Structure 1
Amino acid sequence: MSTRIQVQVRRIYDAPMPSDGVRVLVDRLWPRGVSKSRAHLDEWCKQIAPSTDLRNWYHHDPESFDEFALRYADELRDPEPAAALAHLRELAEKQTLTLLTATKNPEISEAAVLARLLSGSDRHRRAEA
């Protein structure tokens, strides 16, 4: 039996919506100017965030997004992020999952990569040798 997974990506600075379901921050660093009470978070899953090296390399350059997504998907194979990804998948199988990020362009963020992976529409997989 296949479970339909619904994952959405939003900025943490946007007001929460009733349709958000479970709200999970996926950034490594706490967003500036957002109090914990105002965030309306269910979880902060910072262990799934890209490594500092990858984040610094990428710097949200739209032209580098495809390569970022490939490198990030590789990082998600490591044990700690892989366990975090499995946890997010379990959450998404039960209800709508909203991945939150502080980035200005969430469509080119780690949250977008995670949403594609979780929903099965990932186009950022390296070809197996």
Structure 2
Amino acid sequence: MITLRRVYEREEPGETYRIFIDRLWPRGLSKEKATWDEWMKDVSPSNELRRWFSHDASKWEEFRKLYKKELAGKPGLLEKLKQLEARHGTITLLYSSREERYNNAVALKEFLTEQDV
């Protein structure tokens, strides 16, 4: 199972493996307060795509399409996520955006679900 959570939120009981999936370190979060198990920068959108999207809801559909195209070119990373989910049962994808509906974690979870990860 894949769950999503904002990186600034407290860890919930039962969250077995937490993966931060943004390219940039979260603003205002000290290294001491970082509670993830792994930081997978390479699964995040490219810098160009991230800057273009800028969490603009009007660009969401196009962002999803372009990001999924980028993800399709990273089979090793997707296999790693699949293995982590198999090992831990549940993985939590952490993101820093204030936007809960239109962010890379939502698109990544959707892509992984479509790929049956």
Question: TM-score, normalising length from structure 1?
Answer: 0.82
**Aligned counterpart, 1:56:** 51
**Aligned counterpart, 2:26:** 31
Contact 1:25–1:44 (8 Å) recurs in 2: yes
* Equivalent position amino acid for 1:19 in 2: G
Identity of aligned residues (%): 37
**Aligned counterpart, 2:61:** 66
Which segments of structure 1 move beyond 3 Å, counting only runs of 4 or more?
Answer: none
Unpaired stretches in structure 2, ≥5 consecutive residues? none
**Residue 85 of structure 2 is aligned to residue 92 of structure 1:** yes
**Aligned counterpart, 1:126:** none
Secondary structure of 2:72's partner?
Answer: coil
**Residue 71 of structure 2 is aligned to residue 76 of structure 1:** yes
Shift of 1:98: 0.4
Q: Distance in 2 between matches of 1:54 and 1:69?
A: 10
Secondary structure of 1:23's partner?
Answer: strand
Unpaired stretches in structure 1, ≥5 consecutive residues? 1-5, 123-129
Question: TM-score, normalising length from structure 2?
Answer: 0.89
